[in-house]
Amino acid sequence: MIYFRHAATDQSQTDSDLSRCVSQRNLNEQGRADARAIGQAFKALNIPVGQVLSSNYCRTRDTAQLAFGRAELVRDISGLPDSEREQRTVALRRLLRTPPQAGTNTVLVSHGFNITAAANITIAEGEVAIFAPEVEGGFALVARVLPDEWSKLAQDAASAAASPAQATPAATASTQAASPALQEYSVPRGSRPHDVAPAPDGTVWYTAQGSGELGRLDPATGQIHQVKLGDGSAPHGVIIGPDGAPWVTDGGLNAIVRVDPDTDEVKRFPLPEDRPRANLNTATFDKRGVLWFTGQRGVYGRLDPATGKVEVFDAPRGSGPYGMTTTPDGAVYYASLAGSHIATIDPETGAATPIDPPTHGQGARRVWSDSRGRIWVSEWNVGQVGVYDPATGGWREWKLPSANPMPYAVYVDGLDMVWLSDFGANALVRFDPAHEAFMSFPLPSSPANVRQLLGRPGEVWGAESAADKLVVVRQP
């Protein structure tokens, strides 16, 4: 099943009268060119097309006609009026799980909001989502292709045909490359893993908040080793320091904790006695090797590992400091959940300057920097992901695609893809900023409650605190 969102449109136009094309938002010249190019690529790739079903909007019909020369208009994939939303969503799901005629592919040309409702993904104009009907009666997303990628697929197929000994069908290769794999690893019951930190040696550290331990998973064998952090320990965050060791923010001990990765030696750096019960959350290292940390009770601070000195500062707006990140140029930011803002820290003086997102009361929970130094924010209270650009002072925000989004964790991978955990959908979500498109990865365990994400090349890891498991998405 090949689902197209209509090709690029003229955004200056609106839909005022659906009985006339002149009163609708129509394809622009780029969209018409893309549709023709996609049809040519289908022919070059020898992709067999059976039924071509289209929404009755002019932009979807024109996309189908330009690409495939025909279109059968289907009311059930034509928009989502409130009065028929459930009926049409059910109808689209039925189409996605219906096997096409033997030796063909069924093509559906519709809209972004239809596929979001039916499959919990968001796709760009002209983008294709390819689904495989499953034996059990469901359907699975197996690939996504952007409009400008079809010509390359056709070129790759032509090259492969010229070298039969090395030939691999281009469409098959694209499908395999576009299909990340999700895997879970069980940890001891009662661990309640909170945060994870993939290490350079291939292992993964995690905080076992329920048992007061730091765990270490070897994904190759599934073996787990746990280190006791001390009586009263309730570890929250863990990161890998410049020294290669895991560093922990431990709310129970009210201390920063370092564990030697070779000897399991535990070294504690307690907060000053006049800063009890700070509710320590997250840490990050700046470019000088200083560790910064947050405490939800209205504090943030720093630890100099070279001297062991711990300093604590009052957050300018009181309780709430939670997530934390360092930009490529060394700037340190934190998010305030209770305060609904982010803040930047002066590394010399320690002073924090709040920065307000556009949406009031959004509940900025965690933050992460991309390669450009932009700060991505999971906005827990309003179901959004936001980004702040320090270079311009500008903001943008997007609603996650699930029915009741609750974005908790945020992480930006090496390709500047933005990853979030959505409690409301029980899923991990990938956001492509370049195309403003979401892709959802439902979690097998429910509820999973992934509270933090961190990765390394080709992998994104999270801790399923409600399921006593770790989870990884591996990207080919």
pLDDT digit string (tens) for the chain, length 476 residues: 999 999 999 999 998 888 888 889 999 999 999 999 999 999 888 899 999 999 999 999 999 999 999 999 998 998 878 888 889 999 999 999 888 888 889 999 999 989 998 888 888 999 999 988 875 667 888 888 898 888 878 777 666 555 443 333 333 333 333 457 899 999 999 999 999 999 989 999 999 999 999 999 999 999 999 999 999 999 999 999 999 999 999 999 999 999 999 999 999 999 999 999 999 999 999 999 999 999 999 999 999 999 999 999 999 999 999 999 999 999 999 999 999 999 999 999 999 999 999 999 999 999 999 999 999 999 999 999 999 999 999 999 999 999 899 999 999 999 899 999 999 999 999 999 988 999 999 999 999 999 999 999 889 999 999 999 999 999 76
Q: Where are the beta strands (DSSP E) in 199-320?
A: 204-208, 213-218, 223-228, 235-240, 246-250, 255-259, 266-270, 280-285, 291-295, 299-304, 309-314
CATH architecture of 181-474: 7 Propeller (2.130)
Tokens 């930011």 sit on residue: 333
User: What's the rounded Cα separation, in Å, for the pair 103 and 469?
Assistant: 41
Q: Angle 271-273-279 (CA atoms, 0-180°, nearest 5)?
A: 50
Looking at residue 176, its pLDDT comes to 37
Q: Nearest to residue 366, comparing CAs of 310, 422, 316? A: 422
Neighbours of 146 (CB within 10 A): 17
Closest CA to 298 of 336, 342, 326: 336
Give the DSSP letter of residue 157: H
pLDDT of the residue at 369: 97
**Dihedral sign of CA atoms 19, 23, 25, 29 in order:** positive
DSSP secondary structure string, 230-262?
-TT--EEEEEE-TTS-EEEEETTTTEEEEE-TT
Each domain of the chain, given as residue ranges in start order, spans 2-177, 181-474
Instruction: Show the tokens assigned to 14.
Output: 């609106």
pLDDT of residue 163: 47
> What sign results for the dihedral spanned by CA atoms 387, 392, 394, 397?
negative
The encoded tokens of residue 198 equal 């993939």
Phi first, then psi, for residue 147 (nearest 5°) are: -60, -35
Q: Strand, helix or coil at 60?
A: helix
- Paired residues of 423 in beta bridges: none
The one-letter amino acid at 260 = D
CA–CA separation, 313 vs 351, rounded Å? 8
Q: Give the Cα separation of 69 and 307 in Å (integer).
A: 72
Q: What is the pTM of this model?
A: 0.66
2-177: CATH architecture: 3-Layer(aba) Sandwich (3.40)
Q: Which two tokens stand for residue 408?
A: 């908790």
Cα 466 to Cα 473: distance, rounded to the nearest angstrom: 18
Any residues with CB less than 8 A from the CB of 248 and at least 6 apart, and which? 207, 214, 229, 235, 236, 237, 238, 256, 257, 258, 259
**Cβ–Cβ under 8 Å, residues 466 and 449:** yes
